[in-house]
Homo-oligomer: A and B are copies of this chain.
Amino acid sequence: MKCCYSAVVLVWPGSAPSTLTGKDEVSRHRTLQDGVWVTFKGGVYDITEFVAMHPGGDKIMLAAGGAVEPFWALYAVHNQDHVLEILSEYKVSVYLNISFDYARSLNPSDPFSSDPERHPVLRINNLKPFNAEPPPEILSESYITPNVFFFKRNHLPVPRIDPESYKLTVEIQGPNRERGGALSLSLDDLKNKFPKHTVTATIQCAGNRRSDMHKAKQVKGLNWGIGAIGNGTWSGAKLRDVLLAAGYSPDDANWARHVQFEGLDQDVAGTTYGASIPLRKAISEDGDCLLAYEMNGEELPLDHGFPIRVIVPGTVGARNVKWLGKIIVSDVESSSHWQQNDYKGFSPSTDWDTVDYKTAPAIQELPIQSAITVPADGAIVDRSDEEVTLKGYAWSGGGREVVRVDVSIDGGKTWKIAQLKSSDKEQTAGAMAPPPGQAWAWKLWELTVPLPADTEEMEVVCKAVDSSYNMQPDSILPIWNLRGVLSNAWHRVKVKIQEEQDDQ
């Protein structure tokens, strides 16, 4: 396995020359006090003085300490010559795209030494294994979540896999697990021997919005905000096509029930990540399961499973196994911890003393979900603005389309209907719907409301409805569960209205 960084560290053991600035130095400049630095292509720019002049307001601060490119990709207005001219005034040095802090961590005894670097805008919930989410306001900026902002949820160290020698094993266990023989596919095989399919699908972690549940009553798990979700366009071979190539036949449906996936990521004891999905989902023409090698038109990033990850549209993130090493058609579910014990929902009455993992099914399809991305909880709006635009996302598992999002600014007493957007276009409910059961992608929603005259605080609430007319539960405690998964009660944020200042 190659590592391109370690050699550089040896050549550059001390601090970088003043005309070169490294990643760590840039990432330490994220406030007006410390200075606001960003990188663009090969340069480092100190934009501290420009922040106040930025037409887009505070949003520029999201890029502080890191690259501006992913943001400019979101806001096409920057693709103009005069923007580059303005930026060029602030150049302070040449950018050296390497982290020395990170380089120092390249300790062969650290199992996480092969982890890739990430954009500093991500909010880190856990460093090793790496778990991080974007700020919510980024999520609603584009229908497709850019790779760099897409939440990362790793259970184990990121493996570095040589694409040249990569092999995927596909095994169909006989009814007595005696069939033997397995198909072995290279990355080239997957790319060239099977038609390339592209699916736009939202992936959500079962723990998304766990922090809301944790606030209501303590749970065990990473304290995700509302950003453990993203919408991507995935390309790869259809899982169905690969199973058929491996010899799967309709007769196998008589004994087979599950398709298991094994990752190439492993812990120090050699235990690999694993999960399974129902056979029907895997083999169905309409299930749209992929062995993806591209994410949003780019090669699959290291954090997202390079070179191959499974995409199981409509299904909890945990079954979209990354760094895929093996597929097994079986009569039983994956025996992994993550299938058998974790990623299950329990009653609010179940605690760590009474939990019996066998009593609950593994989470597969997720329930209806929505959240408010803008404004943030605790935000302040000026009375003089007269109105405020509320934004968010809504999604449901199992290919069930979001058909309506209701938004309240009075804590849930009265409701208005939000505008739904998909493909960055406005959409009327019911129009241009995907086939029933194949609505894999979220909808972004937006609603502009006049500021209410009679209050200085608005409690904004959203709740979504899917095509099976499933609704989100009102409150959190009745759906509380000890692991804090499936946190999909109405989302609430409080917004203060600041009265106009006296001009004198």
Within the complex, the shortest CB–CB distance from A258 to chain B, in Å, comes to: 10
Within the complex, the shortest CB–CB distance from A187 to chain B, in Å, comes to: 31
Please report the C-alpha to C-alpha distance between residue A127 and residue B488 in the assembled complex, in whole angstroms.
42
Residues of B within 8 A of A472 (CB): 473
Given contacts A361-B430, A404-B360, A471-B473, contact A465 B345 (CB under 8 A): yes
Question: Interface with B: A17-25, A115-123, A208-216, A412-420, which one?
Answer: A412-420
Given contacts A281-B436, A435-B280, contact A469 B366 (CB under 8 A): yes
Residues of B within 8 A of A174 (CB): none
| Interface size class, chain A | 35 or more
Indicate which residue in B280, B347, B469, B475 contacts A404 across the interface (CB closer than 8 Å): B347
Residues of B within 8 A of A365 (CB): 467-469
Q: How many copies does the complex hold?
A: 2
Q: Which B residue sits closest to A416, measured CB to CB?
A: B349
Within the complex, the shortest CB–CB distance from A368 to chain B, in Å, comes to: 7
Is A471 in contact with B367, judged by CB distance below 8 angstroms?
A: yes
Residues of B within 8 A of A473 (CB): 471-474
Does any Cβ of B come within 8 Å of A227's Cβ?
no
Is A486 in contact with B469, judged by CB distance below 8 angstroms?
A: yes
Given contacts A359-B429, A470-B368, A478-B412, contact A348 B406 (CB under 8 A): yes
Q: Which B residue sits closest to A206, measured CB to CB?
A: B469
Within the complex, the shortest CB–CB distance from A492 to chain B, in Å, comes to: 13
Give 24 pairs: A residue, B residue, CB < 8 Å, sorted on A.
A278-B435, A280-B286, A280-B435, A345-B465, A347-B404, A347-B417, A349-B415, A349-B416, A349-B417, A358-B430, A359-B428, A359-B429, A359-B430, A360-B403, A360-B404, A361-B430, A361-B433, A364-B436, A365-B468, A367-B469, A415-B478, A463-B478, A469-B486, A472-B473
What residues of chain A have their CB less than 8 Å away from a CB belonging to chain B? 257, 278, 280-281, 286, 345, 347-350, 358-361, 363-368, 397-398, 403-404, 406, 412, 414-417, 428-430, 433, 435-437, 463, 465, 467-475, 478-479, 486, 488
